[in-house]
Amino acid sequence: MSSGKGAKNKSSTDETAGKKKVSGQEPEDTSNAAILLAIREQEERLTGKIKLAVREAVEEMLASEIQALKAMIEASNSAVNKLSEDITQQAEAGRKLQGRLDATLANIRAVKHYVGDLQKELLNLRQKVAEMEDRSWRANLRLVGLPESAEGENAIRFLQDNLPRWIPSLAGEKIEIQRAHRIFTTQDRTSHPRTLIFRLLRYQDREKILNGARALSATPTHQISSEGRTSVSRLLFFPDYSNDTAQRRNTFDAVRKQLANRGLRPFLRYPATLKVRHNGSLHFFERVADVESFMAMLDRSPCSASINKKAFLFYFLLHPKRPFIISCGWNVLL
């Protein structure tokens, strides 16, 4: 019994000691937690102060650079704004300039059209003036090749006496001449005698002289004897045209010679149309380029004409001194 009581007392003693031990540990844990909490709060405050200090230090260090950068940004923004304004102004000026350019182009087109009409009208008027001059000079003739002073003091009497000699078809014709004179020129009169212009009373007489000169087998000549020497001059008769018509006709001189070398007989119609007969066909040309193309075609075409010996002998007996010409793009003289 005593032993049992002793055991109970021992166990109760142990429990009491354990309770005392637990109750002594709780205050210690509470103080530790408080310390840790205080440490954390202190750490947080310290961290905040450090961050604030670092921020202030960084801001203090970069303050000048930041201010400079802000100034640069503001200057850049100002420049961009000014540039934008300039671009806007330039765009507006460009739109105005484009409008003016469109108006100018429209005016230029209108002026070109107007100038074209004026050029056509001017050409028409020049042609009318040239035609009027040609009509007023239709009874005039130009005599080229007559030596200087051969007509003496009375050119009209000289022409009336010598025209039938130069052109036998005028024999018995009463050719009335109103006036005659030499044209003014700055060329040497000894080597190039001045052209003699004479005006006939009737246009029909002019045609008789021209047709009679064309019908001659040889060019008419005029002989002059001086100091025992006799000189022979070839005489050429031409219609008297206005300068405009004469220039247009002169452009055909070179091609007329080339056609004549090919055995063809070109003829200039008024005002400036070249007539050519080839292989029985008539060809009319108003431009030199067309005549050159025609001659090139003749040069490319083979000669299709065949020579009839009997016809050649008959022609030779009738005209022993004249060449027999075959016209087939080039001339063959037999």
Tens digit of each residue's pLDDT (9 = 90 or more) over 129-153 = 999 999 999 999 999 999 988 999 9
- Band of the pLDDT at 5, cuts 50, 70, 90? very low
Cis ω for the linkage preceding 302 (within 30 of 0): no
| pLDDT at site 49 | 86
- Pair (70, 171) in one structural domain: no
Full residue range of the structural domain in which residue 279 is found: 242-334
Within a domain: 97 = yes
- Band of the pLDDT at 181, cuts 50, 70, 90? very high
- Pair (226, 250) in one structural domain: no
For the chain, list the strands marked E by DSSP: 140-144, 177-182, 196-200, 221-226, 229-234, 236-239, 267-269, 273-278, 281-285, 325-327, 331-333
Report which of 324, 327, 269 is spatially closest to residue 294, judged by C-alpha positions.
327
CB-CB contact of 219 with 235 (8 Å) = yes
Nearest 5°: phi and psi at 196? -100, 120
Within a domain: 275 = yes
- Pair (282, 218) in one structural domain: no
- pLDDT at residue 120 above 90? yes
| pLDDT at site 16 | 52
Nearest 5°: phi and psi at 153? -85, -20
Average pLDDT, the chain: 82
304: which 2 tokens? 């299709």
- Pair (99, 156) in one structural domain: no
The total domain count for the chain is 3
**Helix axes of 288-300 and 253-261: crossing angle, nearest 10 degrees:** 20
| pLDDT at site 190 | 61
- pLDDT at residue 331 above 80? no
Tens digit of each residue's pLDDT (9 = 90 or more) over 239-292 = 999 999 999 999 999 999 999 888 888 988 988 999 999 888 899 999 999 999
- Pair (229, 247) in one structural domain: no
The mean per-residue pLDDT over the stretch 317-331 comes to 47
160: which 2 tokens? 């009336």
| pLDDT at site 28 | 72
Tens digit of each residue's pLDDT (9 = 90 or more) over 46-67 = 888 888 888 888 777 777 888 8
Q: Label residue 111 exposed, middle or buried (CB < 10 Å: 0-12, 13-18, 19+).
A: exposed
- Which residues neighbour 279 within 8 Å (Cβ) at sequence distance 6 or greater? 327, 328
Tens digit of each residue's pLDDT (9 = 90 or more) over 96-112 = 999 999 999 999 999 99
How far is it, in rounded angstroms, from Cα 252 to Cα 239? Answer: 16
The CATH number of residue 328's host domain is 3.30.250.20
- Choosing from 193, 212, 240, the residue where a domain stops is 240
90: which 2 tokens? 């330039």
Looking at per-residue pLDDT, the higher value among 26 and 202 belongs to 202
Minimum mean pLDDT range among 76-85, 285-294, 309-318: 309-318
